[in-house]
Amino acid sequence: MPKQGSVALLQEPLALELLAAGIPAHLAYTWKDGTPRVVPMWFHWTGDAIAMVCPPDSSKLKVIKDGTPVTVSIDYEAWPARLLSVRGTATTQSIEGEAEFYDEMVRKYLGDGTDDWRAMYRKLCPTVVQLTITPEWVSLIDVAHNRFPNALEKAMAAAG
């Protein structure tokens, strides 16, 4: 299995499961005053990047610009801990109408019959901003299968 930090971890079964699951990601970024911020967001895995959509006047867009470093984490709430953490660089793109993956993303979270939601969102947000996070560093934690954070793995190796 690839080591923590390797982008190749995104091809591991648990990572692919979390990327496909209908659970929100948590987008972490730094605010203007240097304080951390974390917001839950729907996302779509393109196979190469994590894509999200937000209204053009979203507060996060005051600080997230092309080239901004961000972190996205996706995890199950229940124990044992199973977590995918992706650090990367954000890019933004203004889109008139829906992002090409929006229908698939909405179905992931709401199931079938999403036409009403999509119509409402298009009416409220005729222009959206797509945030795309290109993975540069990846961590995959799976306590049930002995995949621990780096510090704990090092301590366990030292203890023999």
Does the N-terminal peptide bond of residue 80 adopt cis geometry, omega within 30 degrees of 0? yes
What pLDDT does residue 92 have? 97
What pLDDT does residue 79 have? 87
Residue 48 has pLDDT above 70, yes or no: yes
- Please tell me which residue, 20 or 79, carries the higher pLDDT value: 20
Residue 155 has pLDDT above 80, yes or no: no
Residue 159 has pLDDT above 80, yes or no: yes
- Please tell me which residue, 118 or 34, carries the higher pLDDT value: 34
Residue 76 has pLDDT above 70, yes or no: yes
- pLDDT band for 151, please (50, 70, 90 cuts): low
| Residue in the structure block whose two tokens are 């954000």 | 90
pTM (whole model) above 0.85: yes
End-to-end CA distance of the chain: 20
Residue 20 has pLDDT above 80, yes or no: yes
What class has domain 7-159? mainly beta
CB-based contact 27:72 (threshold 8 Å): yes
Backbone torsions φ then ψ of 113, nearest 5 degrees: 75, 45
Measure Cα distances from 129 to 6, 113, 150 in Å: 28, 24, 35
